Structure 1
Amino acid sequence: MEIKFNISGINRKELVTAIGELVGKPIIYKGAPTFSYDVGDFTIDKSGTLLFPVKADSDLVSKVITGLSERGLEFDESEMMNKLSIEMPLDGFTEESIVKLEKLISSKASLIKKALGATELTIEKTAATLKFPWFKFPATSDEVAAYSQFISALCSAAKEQKKVTARDRVVDNEKFAFRVFLIRLGFVGEEYKLTRKILLRNLSGSSAYASFHPTKADQDEILVSEVNHE
């Protein structure tokens, strides 16, 4: 996660000092080559960008952002909202599996966007990672955990599946359709109950059969998925 502040080196120390006071941690100057400051889980780079991990304490992050704003250190909130990313290492990925990942995402693009409240599902590739900047901030620790599990499952499926079809289709019951997808990704059992709840909450319909009449193919798909992941 990163937040850009419109400051230069001359008043970066003001930003760093304020963060130190708000966090209550010592300020550590890293020197060359980064010329950054570390304050607990927070890093302030040489351009005045505040960086912190997506799993950082959301209450503390909110306290820092509010405190900086009260001190007149403003940021672009619209930009910040688009900067919450989940990153996965490139280890184990091939060009083919990255293409499969893109197809897998495309096949459920409409449902994923609605489930996450995302407008785009862009994947950013760096030298060592894949970035998924799909998520809004602030997010609770439970939400961050659910999002991280979802991205991890997508990546694992892309590496393991032999064939992926990139065909997004309109469904009558969004929750049921996405539940089938989550089961295929391995989200089965009590340990994933909260994750399923978070990922299904923005979708319409019901995840149960009671108000939805799936096709024979849908029934077979969910039964096979449940058996394979028990």
Structure 2
Amino acid sequence: MEFKFNVTGARRKELVQVISEILSTAPEYKGAPTFAYVIGGFTVNKEGTLSASENNSEEDLEQLLNELDQRGFQFEAPSELVIEMPREGFTEAAIANLERLVKSKETLIKKALDTDRLPIELTEDRLRFPWFSRSLAAEEVNAYARFIGALCAMAKNQHRVTATEKAYDNEKYTFRCFLLRLGFIGPEYKTERKILLSRLPGSAAFKNGQRNSEEETEA
């Protein structure tokens, strides 16, 4: 993914230096024609756009963006966001599983992500998810990227997925159970669960009950 900081000249050098300090890694200047700086698994191009390599974890990226924000570097929230995943490891069956998996939870995913479309675009080496057409906070970007990553992992590991979508009496509870199946378990996923459940009606704690405000905080 790319994050536009829109800094040039001395301010770009300052951004590179701050990233270097955060990562404890010396920057490497590439010179012409890119004029980019490479710091570990991250690159800052001549327009001040930060890009992350596929080897960086979502946790590393989130931590870096949060620390940059604390030091006065905020990236420009895109009006449209496309999350991409490597196509490596995806057989035709896994791609079909992914499409059926999204279809089976289409209504819930659209509400959870506040989107009206869920296309999956295939390139030679990437899977693209152009699902977002609004400005997103860094925590939202991280939550949605981890969610899509978990969908991809499940699609690869499942033998077969049914595309039939069911009716839901309690949307929040149903989606919470789905998130747990995807691996969003434990306190380390508390923020992601909260973001992904925030737009769905119902109780996350009880299938047929109404949760109180204290339960909502813990979801």
1:199–1:49 Cα change, 3 Å: same
Residue aligning to 1:102:
99
Residue deviations 1:97-140 (CA, integer Å, cap 9, x gap): 11210111111122112212234323333433323344553312
Which of 162, 172, 177 pairs up with 1:175?
Answer: 172
Judge conservation of contact 2:65–2:138 (CA < 8 Å) in 1. no
Alpha-carbon shift at residue 59 of structure 1 (Å): 5.3
Q: Which whole-Å CA distance do the structure 2 matches of 1:3 and 1:157 have between them?
A: 27
Residue aligning to 1:81:
79
Alpha-carbon shift at residue 35 of structure 1 (Å): 1.5
Residue aligning to 2:10:
17
Alpha-carbon shift at residue 156 of structure 1 (Å): 2.0
Alpha-carbon shift at residue 169 of structure 1 (Å): 4.2
1:51–1:193 Cα change, 3 Å: closer
List gaps (5 residues or longer) in structure 2: 21-26, 53-60, 211-219
Q: Does 1:113 align with 2:114?
A: no
Alpha-carbon shift at residue 154 of structure 1 (Å): 1.1
Q: Which whole-Å CA distance do the structure 1 matches of 2:79 and 2:93 have between them?
A: 31
Residue deviations 1:177-211 (CA, integer Å, cap 9, x gap): 21232233243455544433332122110121342
Instruction: Give SS of 2:201's match.
Output: coil
Identity among equivalent pairs (%)? 44
TM-score (norm 2): 0.66
Instruction: Give SS of 2:73's match.
Output: helix
Judge conservation of contact 1:84–1:137 (CA < 8 Å) in 2. no
Instruction: Give SS of 1:57's match.
Output: helix
Q: Which whole-Å CA distance do the structure 2 matches of 1:29 and 1:145 have between them?
A: 28
Count of residue pairs brought into register by the alignment? 188
Residue aligning to 2:56:
none
Which of 200, 209, 215 pairs up with 2:207?
Answer: 209
List gaps (5 residues or longer) in structure 1: 7-13, 67-74, 213-230
Q: Which whole-Å CA distance do the structure 2 matches of 1:21 and 1:206 have between them?
A: 47
Judge conservation of contact 1:118–1:134 (CA < 8 Å) in 2. yes
Alpha-carbon shift at residue 158 of structure 1 (Å): 1.0
Instruction: Give SS of 1:130's match.
Output: strand
Q: Does 1:153 align with 2:150?
A: yes
Q: Which whole-Å CA distance do the structure 2 matches of 1:193 and 1:5 have between them?
A: 28
Judge conservation of contact 2:35–2:45 (CA < 8 Å) in 1. yes
Alpha-carbon shift at residue 155 of structure 1 (Å): 1.3
Q: Does 1:30 align with 2:30?
A: yes
Residue aligning to 1:57:
65
TM-score (norm 1): 0.63
- RMSD between aligned alpha carbons? 3.5
Instruction: Give SS of 2:138's match.
Output: coil
